[in-house]
Every structure is written in structure tokens, then in C-alpha cells.
């Protein structure tokens, strides 16, 4: 008697989805203390054959042989504001509200909410990766020695004299690149305040993510047990058929 792969394939699809969700949650938890990290969210949808009709073969490598099974739709980003933490450092900047800083990377201009900046040996404002921070005109920012203050609009003063400003941009269709960089179509942001001496923290809630991890682990175990049960039943059916 031929083995019916339908139940195993459906259950395996569900188990794989839980594994992918666990990967996303684990990454969120790993970055709970990363400044400005925005948590990822996985969305899923159901794929089904036309009319819900089973295909004539049972090849498990052919998705159309299954009635309904879950597939990953997208891994998106939660852009909600993280808490602001006071550091007192001159070049630590946090954006309260809408917007991103712009930095000049080897691959081109990218955007970030992470504002633990510093001055490099040449006096340019750079991020943790050494990428130079850009002003509203997408020019690199050079700051002279002196007492530096940065107001809520991002204007940079050295010993009370205006020297430049930090560019704050809104993004259309933002796409995460790595841990804290984003790409997208920029435009000048208006609904923001720059906070000098503060850092925006991760928007990951560790307790919520841990609860999700426990739930996903249990769901994964259930799918695994069901696959084992189906396999045992198929084995018994084949034995009786012989």
C-alpha cells in the first residue's frame, strides 16, 4: 500500500513555520540591549490548491499536492519608538518621533536610528561602524574642537556658533539591511526632536518575546509528535495491508 504523504507534509510545513518564527524571536531577544534596534515580525498566510482538490499524485516535493499549508508571507519591522536612555555623552543623539539619521556607507547612503556617534581622527561625525553621518544636504559633517551643543532641530553649535546640522529623514518603504541600517526613499522629516546626551533603546519587550518563544517551542513539539504519530499509523496500516 502506498504511503499517503499528505498529513506528514502539512504537519512538517507547520513545524517549519514555527522554526522560522523561533529564529525571528531569538534574534529579537539577542538585540534587546542593542540601541535603537527595531524588532522583527514574521507574518504567515495559508496556501491552498484550487477548489481544495487533492492532486492525483502524492509527491511531497510538489506543493500543489496539498490542500492547505502555511507559508511565510513577510518578515517586517516594528518601527515603534524605543525608550530614551540618558547617557550624558556629547555625541549620543536620539530621535524622539519620526525620522532616521543618514550615514555614508561603502554601498551608498543608508539610514539608522542608532545615534551613539563619535568624532573620528579627522574630525568627522561617525557612527559605531565608522560611517560618516550626513547633514540635510547629504554632506559629511565635520565638527571643530570646542564645546558642542546640538539642539532639538539637530543644529550643531561649537562654542555657541552654528556650524551645521544633522540630517533627519523620513523613509518611504523602509527596508532593514542588517541589524540597524535601513534603505528607502528619503524625504526631510518634520515631526521629530533630537535629544543630545540620550540614546534610543531597543523596542523589544524581553518578557513578551520570552512568552512567544515558550509558545512557539510548545507548538513545534506538538507538530513533531503529530508527525511521529502519523508515521506510526502509516506503518501499522502498511503492515495490515501486507
The per-residue pLDDT for range 31-52, each reduced to its tens digit, is: 999 999 999 988 776 665 554 4
pLDDT band at 15 (very low <50, low <70, confident <90, very high): confident
Give the per-residue pLDDT at 1.
40
The sign of the dihedral angle between the CA atoms of 18, 20, 21, 27 is positive
Give the per-residue pLDDT at 242.
54
- Please tell me the least confidently modeled range out of 84-88, 177-181, 209-213: 177-181
| The model's pTM | 0.77
Average pLDDT estimate for 202-220: 90
Question: Helix, strand or coil for residue 126?
Answer: strand
Question: What's the rounded Cα separation, in Å, for the pair 53 and 116?
Answer: 56
The domain spans of the chain are: 6-80+205-241, 86-200
Give the per-residue pLDDT at 36.
93
- pLDDT, tens only, 135-167: 999 999 999 999 999 999 999 999 999 999 999
Amino acid at each position: 500500500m502506498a504511503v499517503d504523504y499528505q498529513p506528514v507534509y502539512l504537519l512538517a510545513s507547520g513545524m517549519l513555520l514555527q522554526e522560522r518564527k523561533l529564529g525571528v524571536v531569538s534574534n529579537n531577544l539577542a538585540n534587546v540591549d542593542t540601541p535603537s534596534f527595531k524588532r522583527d515580525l514574521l507574518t504567515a498566510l495559508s496556501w491552498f490548491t484550487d477548489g481544495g482538490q487533492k492532486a492525483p499524485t502524492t509527491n511531497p516535493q510538489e506543493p500543489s499536492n496539498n490542500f492547505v499549508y502555511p507559508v511565510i508571507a513577510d518578515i517586517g519591522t516594528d518601527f515603534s519608538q524605543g525608550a530614551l536612555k540618558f547617557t550624558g555623552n556629547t555625541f549620543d543623539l536620539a530621535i524622539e518621533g519620526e525620522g532616521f539619521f543618514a550615514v555614508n556607507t561603502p554601498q551608498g547612503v543608508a539610514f539608522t536610528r542608532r545615534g551613539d556617534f563619535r568624532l573620528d581622527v579627522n574630525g568627522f561625525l561617525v557612527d559605531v561602524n565608522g560611517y560618516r553621518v550626513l547633514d540635510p544636504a547629504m554632506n559629511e559633517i565635520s565638527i571643530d574642537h570646542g564645546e558642542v551643543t546640538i539642539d532639538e532641530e539637530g543644529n550643531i553649535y561649537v562654542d555657541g556658533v552654528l556650524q551645521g546640522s544633522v540630517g533627519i529623514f523620513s523613509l518611504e518603504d523602509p527596508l532593514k539591511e542588517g541589524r540597524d541600517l535601513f534603505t528607502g526613499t528619503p524625504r526631510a522629516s518634520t515631526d521629530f526632536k533630537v535629544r543630545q546626551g540620550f540614546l534610543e533603546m531597543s523596542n523589544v519587550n524581553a518578557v513578551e518575546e520570552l512568552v512567544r518563544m515558550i509558545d512557539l517551542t510548545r507548538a513545534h513539539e506538538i507538530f513533531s509528535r503529530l508527525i511521529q504519530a502519523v508515521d506510526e499509523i502509516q506503518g501499522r496500516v502498511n503492515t495490515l495491508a501486507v
